[in-house]
Amino acid sequence: MKTQEIEEFLLRTLDDGKLSRGEQKVLAAILDDENLGVRRLAALRAHVFQLARNTLHDPRQRGVLEWLEAIIKTSDARLRKVLKASPQGSTGRTPRTPSEAFFSPGPDCLRRIIGHFQTARKTVDVCVFTITDDRITREILAAHQRGVVIRVLTDDLKSEDPGSDIARLERAGLAVAFDSYDKHMHHKFALFDGATLLTGSYNWTRSAAEANEENLIVTRNPDLVEAFRLEFEGLWGRYGGGG
């Protein structure tokens, strides 16, 4: 989002002096999309305080706002020192990593896959051995229909199995590429908006959800996301993927 668009959004939310829950979600999405670092976040916050200050005419009100800004800056500086001094943070607990594990049989893995397609905003790169679960296919198509750019890389032989949904995805206009060698492309991973990785043994099939012992890892670890992104791009280029 452009700086001017962010400015206009902030001014609209300032009109009534309230930030609704919906506006909070939009702001959170903007901050996620912009991927702001500490310095840019600090600059944005200072700008927000200035916008609020410009609406106040009572000197006492302006003083209260400046007091609040100084308190926040001081507490943030202290928090950064604490986090820097202790990898475990101020609570003494190891910080929660941006990763989760799920297992089947059961609905957990399926729900996570479906949920990420439902919340995808811009891009999804899928690299899976086979897709036969219509519940997942419906969400792939729904994301495609609302403008999410989706690429699917899969095994050529498995795509010909009865129940495979790959031809259905191709007919809907998705970019699809196949391996073309005697060895199988056996990966099972997907990247959502370039920031979230889903990977594990879990095949995108009904038997994986209802019968098999499978696992699914969901992570936003940037090193892992980048490693799988590079693997996808390499395979996509190797197998002639377009787009």
Long-range own/partner contacts, residues 223-231 (CB < 8 A, 24 or more apart): 224/197, 225/191, 225/194, 225/195, 225/196, 225/197, 228/189, 228/191, 228/197, 228/199, 229/125, 229/191, 229/194, 231/127, 231/187
Beta strands 149-154 and 175-178, pairing class: parallel
Q: What's phi and psi for 56, nearest 5 deg?
A: -100, 140
Which helix (H) or strand (E) element contains residue 38? helix 38-54
For residue 133, with 0-12 CB atoms within 10 Å meaning exposed, 13-18 middle and 19 or more buried, which class applies? buried
Give me the active site residues, please.
Answer: 186, 188, 193
The backbone region for 138, taken as left when phi is positive above 0, alpha when psi lies in -120 to 50, beta otherwise, is alpha
